[in-house]
Amino acid sequence: MNPNFHVFSLSQRAAPLAVREQLALNEAACRQLLRTLRTAPGLTDVLVLSTCNRTEIYYCAGQEQTAVLLDALGQVLGRVVSARQAAYFVHLHDAEAATRHLFDVALGLEAQLIGDQQISHQVKRAYQWAVEEDTAGPWLHRLLHTVLFTSKRVQQETAFRDGAASTSYAALELTETLTAHLPNPTILIVGLGEIGTDVARHFGASPRFTCVTVCNRTRAKAEALAAGNSLQVLDWADLVPGLQAADVVISSVAAAVPCLTLPLVQQLTVLSHKFFIDLSVPRSVAAEVEQVPGVLLYTLDDIADTTSATLARRLAAVPQVCALIAESLADLAQWSRELEVSPTIQQLKNALEQLRAEELRRFSKHLSAAETQRMDELTKSLMQKVLKYPTRHLKAACQRGETGPLVGLLTDIFGLEATLAGYS
């Protein structure tokens, strides 16, 4: 385990939507934050994860970097992160706890809807950005490969991801509840990003809803999605008439400020009830729209965990998921311990190779070319056999956490450089 691994986390566990939306980062902002932290002294292996429910910075450093992180975050946001906002962040300095937290997040244990596999894709994308922005070091590479491999095992070996239970599916279930009294409700889905697209597909596959329309700034994207899911398409320019006709409006528009504002909704004639479900962070539906009589607004924080059979199966699979995480953490710890002694093994190999080469040169003066080649092969084979025993004992000592005395002994016997392994 990398002893210098930390996580600076803001999530739905502690922070309300009103705070999370102020600190949410899009791709450009995440990349900018990575570039800013890449030049910060003492920071390595930086990963920035920002979703609808969390904004997190994972990093390695010899000491906590709260002030540096808040300053960098403020630069990216274009405003100072207030003390009130900063108070919602949780800073995990214990390396094992920080590592376990990333597993829990990536596998869906920390998701608002447990088992939501969308977060796994978001973590993978965040890792890709870290690689492209050159903030991923050896530790982060190994950690993320292990996390993503474990996520694949969870998918294949457990029921934790079975069935449909995600934020987008929860929007469908909520809509079913809200429109139970309507024989053929009209649904309008506004914004076709990752979540909006998932929502549209769920509605397209549902026999309950036959009048579903999608509206996106880019009409071509809406048409492509509608064609494969039996949906209707609305031009962005016709948004207001579409809002008027809809019983339920589901919005996931990515924007810094709400696009469905109070003045816009005030243009509508609401005869009974009109429901808005906002799946965006920052919010795309202004909170004030509920001032309009008959308008009811639901946000991410209003979408509680579904009590469906799917959720029950997922909860039953949690112990299996935790067992897989424990295996992966043990493998990571073993890899980390072996990494500590790899410089000693390499130095020992170099020292023996130097002795072998010197002796071969000394004796080759009296040997033919063929004999020299055979002697070269013989001494290389002998050196590998000699190396096998200390290497095996070093790795065994790693498992026991007792490498110190053995490294010191080998260093003294073979005159190796006494260097400490670190994470670059």
Q: Say if residue 340 carries a ligand binding annotation.
A: no
Q: Say if residue 53 carries a ligand binding annotation.
A: yes
CATH level 3 topology of 167-302? Rossmann fold (3.40.50)
Q: Say if residue 65 carries a ligand binding annotation.
A: no
Q: Label residue 42 left, alpha or beta by phi (over 0 means left) and psi (-120 to 50 means alpha).
A: left
- Dist. CA 144–CA 106, nearest whole Å: 10
Per-residue confidence (pLDDT) for residue 366, from 0 to 100: 82
Per-residue confidence (pLDDT) for residue 120, from 0 to 100: 93
Q: Which CATH number fits domain 5-162: 3.30.460.30, 3.55.40.10, 3.40.50.2300, 3.40.640.10?
A: 3.30.460.30
**Helices 95-107 and 138-157, packing angle to 10 deg:** 40
Task: Give the contacts of 137 (CB within 8 A, at least 6 positions apart).
Answer: 44, 45, 60, 423, 424
Residues found in the chain? 424
Per-residue confidence (pLDDT) for residue 2, from 0 to 100: 86
Catalytic annotation, pick one of 52, 60, 215, 259: 52
Task: Give the contacts of 226 (CB within 8 A, at least 6 positions apart).
Answer: 200, 214, 232, 233
Task: Give the contacts of 372 (CB within 8 A, at least 6 positions apart).
Answer: 360, 364
Report domain extents, the chain: 5-162, 167-302, 341-414
- Dist. CA 158–CA 314, nearest whole Å: 9
Q: Say if residue 184 carries a ligand binding annotation.
A: no
CB 333 within 8 A of CB 399: no
Phi, psi of 210 (to 5 degrees): -115, -10
- Cα–chain center distance at 288: 33
Q: Say if residue 122 carries a ligand binding annotation.
A: yes
Is-same-fold flag (5-162; 167-302)? Answer: no
One-character DSSP codes across 182-228: -SS-EEEEE--SHHHHHHHHHHHH-TT--EEEEE-SSHHHHHHHHHH
**Which strands make up the sheet holding 90-92, listed edge to edge?**
44-50, 54-60, 5-11, 90-92
Per-residue confidence (pLDDT) for residue 419, from 0 to 100: 41
Per-residue confidence (pLDDT) for residue 116, from 0 to 100: 86
Q: Say if residue 116 carries a ligand binding annotation.
A: yes
DSSP 8-state secondary structure symbol assigned to residue 181: T
Q: Is 211 a catalytic residue?
A: no
Q: Say if residue 191 carries a ligand binding annotation.
A: yes
Please give the model's pTM, rounded to 2 decimal places: 0.77
Q: Say if residue 291 carries a ligand binding annotation.
A: no
For every one of its 424 residues, what pLDDT tens digit does the chain have, with 9 covering 90 and above?
A: 788 999 999 999 999 999 999 999 999 999 999 999 999 999 999 999 999 899 999 999 999 899 999 999 999 999 999 999 999 999 999 999 999 999 999 999 998 888 888 899 999 999 999 999 999 999 999 999 999 999 999 999 999 988 767 888 889 989 999 999 999 999 999 999 999 999 999 999 999 999 999 999 999 999 999 998 999 999 999 999 999 999 999 999 998 899 999 999 999 999 889 999 999 999 999 999 999 999 999 998 887 555 566 788 889 999 999 999 999 999 998 888 777 666 777 777 887 888 888 888 888 888 888 988 998 899 888 888 888 877 777 777 766 766 667 666 667 766 666 443 443 3
Q: Say if residue 391 carries a ligand binding annotation.
A: no
Q: Say if residue 420 carries a ligand binding annotation.
A: no
Q: Say if residue 194 carries a ligand binding annotation.
A: yes
Per-residue confidence (pLDDT) for residue 403, from 0 to 100: 66
Per-residue confidence (pLDDT) for residue 308, from 0 to 100: 65
CB 266 within 8 A of CB 272: no
Q: Say if residue 189 carries a ligand binding annotation.
A: no
